[in-house]
Chain A
Amino acid sequence: MTPALGQGLVLLGLLLCTIGAPVGFVAGARRSELGLLWTRRLALGFALAMIAANVLMVVALVRHDFSVSYVAQVGSTTTPLHITIVSLWSSLEGSILFWGMILGLYTAGVAILQWKRGHDDYLAYTLGTILTVGIFFSFLIAGAANPFKPVPPPIPMEGPGPNPLLQNHLLMIVHPPTLYLGYVGMTVPFAMAVAALLRGQLGPTWLRPLRNWLLVPTSFLTLGIMLGGWWSYEVLGWGGYWAWDPVENASLLPWLTAIAALHSAIVLQRRGTLKAWTVVLIMISFLLTILGTFLTRSGVVNSVHAFTQSAIGPMFLAFLGVAAFAVVILLALRVDRLGGPAVGSPLPSRESAFLVNNLLLLALMFTVLVGTLYPILAEAVRGVKVSVGVPWYNRMGVPIFLGLILLMGLGPALPWGSGDSRLLRRALLWPLPAAGVALLIALALGGRGFPILFSAALFGYTLWVTADQGLRPARTRVAQGESPPAALKRSTELAPRRLGAYIVHFGVLVTFLSIAISSSYQVEREAQLAPGTSTEIDGYTLTFLDARLAAEPHVTRQIARIDVSRNGRSLGVLEPSINFYPTQREPIGTPKVRTRLTHDLYLTLMNVSANSAGLRAIVTPAVLWIWLGVLMMVAGTAVCLLPPRLPVRRAVAAAAGETVGEGVDDSVAEASAGG
């Protein structure tokens, strides 16, 4: 019963988007209002079918309905309820079904939020493109990745349960959906870019929704990448948060180009240039999400994330190929129509800083892409297995990254369009004392060596510019006699994007400095301890108390009890363990982390028995601030998405027309956002 109903819903979704996509394109070409109305209905129908299919699967999982193939594959009556629910995305078929739902949610979001908002010129094309992507995914769910296959009798009474790695940490519940929200969400700006090319123009009614719909998935991607790093740190037991694993890289690729696109869109809005460039960046971002999905699902790269090799891989590759060719042909046909004034900008100006930022981000993207694909290339050409190690990425990537941080300081300090060298010099020299102060603080705190001192100075410079620019409207108001809180509130209401963007920059700075500190000042100690003996690290005394074996249904744990004390005072007992899962070939160490504002104490086991424990202890400063910095970025994005409240006298003018409204938004927002 459930399998038939589920398959029915998926096929309904497939049918609706297969009709909706061509209807959307035709409606767009003919500017037909009736066509747009129907495209929207079909899009909403597709969204509902996908959501319903997912709800049905969750119900089947919760009821342990083993007549459904996916439930029989990942379900188990002994699994706790919340894990049962999230096992919706714990395995290949379910994750693609879940993907379908997120695409449905975004489709509905566009169909509802952009309806009658002046975006109608593009909406039919946009929805048509989203539904075309929907055809591919619902085709996968209906066929190769069908999670609703009926299980032939006898129906099993019990299943194996989901992948054990997903069961041992709460972060694993939030990391995949967040990342999916980022990946799938890139479909929307992509569809808008396609719509702009088909329409042959980029107007303000296109740009504003585009920036919002680009911000949302980029922000989810940021959060998803951070949650993945955090999970890896808390669960995998190697003491780090980023390993340049191919699948981690795959999530980084579209993130880099999406950030480039967000910044070039600002130049587009302010200067009317970089039109084709912005469109291309958005399209690359989307294609990279598909490439990333392909790398994860096809099993061609070696990674902790990779799902097993399956028929899905070739289908994703085919989709990637077709989509990429379609994009290239569309660009070749239409890109000249976008035109735009080719205004040369003086070299040291805000817009040239944006351009350099774009080039650096692209260079970083290519670096990561080459590193990720090189093992495949080496095997194809020379028949050897190689892996690209962390040092390569650090050597290639870190200078580019430092360049980006420097630009984050220089860019916003530079005036738009100006070639006035006196103004320039003043703008660029003004923050230098802040860099000096940061350098002195770093020296006073014991910072030594070029990388960390340079990072500190860079931090100081950029922090000054960020705070100066971010708070400038509020400061102007204070100068005019408003109280500081009121000024801040008012300027935020008027130009949320400006403040939001600088909050994001501040978050980037915090994360950047924390990564620099945590990777420079990590202390590590390994010791083989007999019961009752201790080792010391960074003022902590770690005493091995005893070890025990705990057998649970799907895992056997060897747990060591380690007493942590400082200056003779016990701070509690940490219990790192080594876990053996029957489905995993190698044991997985589960670390225990004591997190404090300034540093983390990280304990992990190399081996353990009743009379000995091989303990690895790591003290890393500032780790918590990496995650907090990312949360600031996400909070800043949320501020950016607040609708600006227009001053009363201008709101009337804004109501008169979208174009005027955009102008007002511009003048008050000074959408100088990024840099």
Chain B
Amino acid sequence: MNKKVLLIGVLLIVPLVGLLAVSFRFDPKIVESPLIGKPAPDFTLQDLDGNVVRLSELRGTPVVINFWSTWCPPCIQEHPLLESAAAHYRGRVHFLGVIYQDDPGVIARFIDELGAWGPALIDPENRVAIAYGVFGPPETFFIDEEGVIVDKVIGGLHAQILREALDALL
């Protein structure tokens, strides 16, 4: 028995296998948004008709903010889902859409055609999108009645994800 070989081998293998075993506890894909658990940045925006919406005035009711645009296929795909959710949770949850880098005229035509599920807010110079750290549409933020961001979904919504996130809000 060559003890030196045994020792070197064990010293190499044990930490490696141990490290890999520990790694099962982590999911490398989950990178939590630093905004979660923080108060939602306040904003005052106008919708297409010029109505003013101020986030802090909605305090007391949970709010869903969805950043979207007409040039983003997942946004178009999730449009009907948001429409039915907004109808279902009417009065219990506010649904706000913030337009992300799109032309108000195009948005108006789009809404004429497919219907609206909430105010489509115009975000001049992307100030709100930047405050919320939006990387690209769609991104959806869930804000509780205290005005704290409790969840964030990047990418297209699915019925189940949306339902779970809303149930957690209420």
- Which of B16-24, B113-121, B122-130 forms contacts with chain A? B16-24
Q: Give the complex CA separation of A328 and B136 in angstroms.
A: 51
Range class of the A interface residue count? 35 or more
A317 lies within 8 A of B21 (CB) = yes
**CB-CB < 8 A to B31: which residues of A?**
385
A607 lies within 8 A of B71 (CB) = yes
Known: A376-B23, A556-B73, A585-B156. Contact between A332 and B28, CB under 8 A? no
| B1 CB within 8 Å of chain A | yes
Q: Give the complex CA separation of A385 and B13 in angstroms.
A: 24
- Which of A120-128, A297-305, A663-671 forms contacts with chain B? A297-305
A331 lies within 8 A of B22 (CB) = no
**CB-CB < 8 A to B16: which residues of A?**
324, 373
What 0/1 pattern do residues 1 to 38 of A give for CB contact below 8 A with B?
00000000000000000000000000000000000000
B17 lies within 8 A of A320 (CB) = yes
What 0/1 pattern do residues 260 to 288 of A give for CB contact below 8 A with B?
00000000000000000000000000000
A328 lies within 8 A of B20 (CB) = no
**CB-CB < 8 A to B29: which residues of A?**
302
**CB-CB < 8 A to B3: which residues of A?**
332
Nearest neighbor of A329 in chain B, beta-carbon distance: B6
Q: Give the distance to chain A from B1, nearest Cβ to Cβ, in Å.
A: 5
B20 lies within 8 A of A325 (CB) = no
Known: A325-B13, A332-B1, A335-B2. Contact between A609 and B20, CB under 8 A? no
Q: Give the distance to chain A from B116, nearest Cβ to Cβ, in Å.
A: 21
| B170 CB within 8 Å of chain A | no
**CB-CB < 8 A to B154: which residues of A?**
585
Range class of the B interface residue count? 20 to 34
Task: Label chain B's interface by main secondary structure.
Answer: helix
| B133 CB within 8 Å of chain A | no
**CB-CB < 8 A to A301: which residues of B?**
28
Q: Give the complex CA separation of A608 and B74 in angstroms.
A: 14
| B131 CB within 8 Å of chain A | no
**CB-CB < 8 A to A385: which residues of B?**
28, 31
| B112 CB within 8 Å of chain A | no
Q: Give the complex CA separation of A102 and B21 in angstroms.
A: 28
What 0/1 pattern do residues 297 to 341 of A give for CB contact below 8 A with B?
011111000000100011001001100110111011101100000
What 0/1 pattern do residues 371 to 406 of A give for CB contact below 8 A with B?
001011101100001000000000000000000000
What 0/1 pattern do residues 16 to 52 of B give for CB contact below 8 A with A?
1101111110111101000000000000000000000
**CB-CB < 8 A to B17: which residues of A?**
317, 320-321, 324
B22 lies within 8 A of A380 (CB) = yes
B6 lies within 8 A of A332 (CB) = yes
| A552 CB within 8 Å of chain B | no
Q: Give the distance to chain A from B27, nearest Cβ to Cβ, in Å.
A: 7
- Among B17, B31, B156, the most chain A Cβ lie within 10 Å of the Cβ of B17
What 0/1 pattern do residues 604 to 645 of A give for CB contact below 8 A with B?
000111000000000000000000000000000000000000
Where the two chains meet, the residues of B that have a C-beta atom closer than 8 Å to any C-beta of A are: 1-3, 5-6, 9-10, 13, 16-17, 19-24, 26-29, 31, 71, 73-74, 77, 136, 154-156
Q: Mind listing 16 A-B residue pairs with CB under 8 Å?
A: A314-B24, A320-B20, A321-B17, A324-B9, A328-B9, A328-B10, A328-B13, A331-B5, A332-B9, A333-B1, A376-B19, A376-B23, A377-B19, A380-B23, A385-B31, A608-B71
Apart from A324-B9, A333-B1, what 20 extra A-B contacts exist at CB < 8 Å?
A298-B23, A299-B27, A300-B23, A300-B24, A309-B27, A314-B21, A314-B24, A325-B13, A331-B5, A332-B6, A332-B9, A333-B2, A335-B2, A373-B16, A376-B20, A376-B23, A380-B23, A558-B73, A587-B73, A587-B74
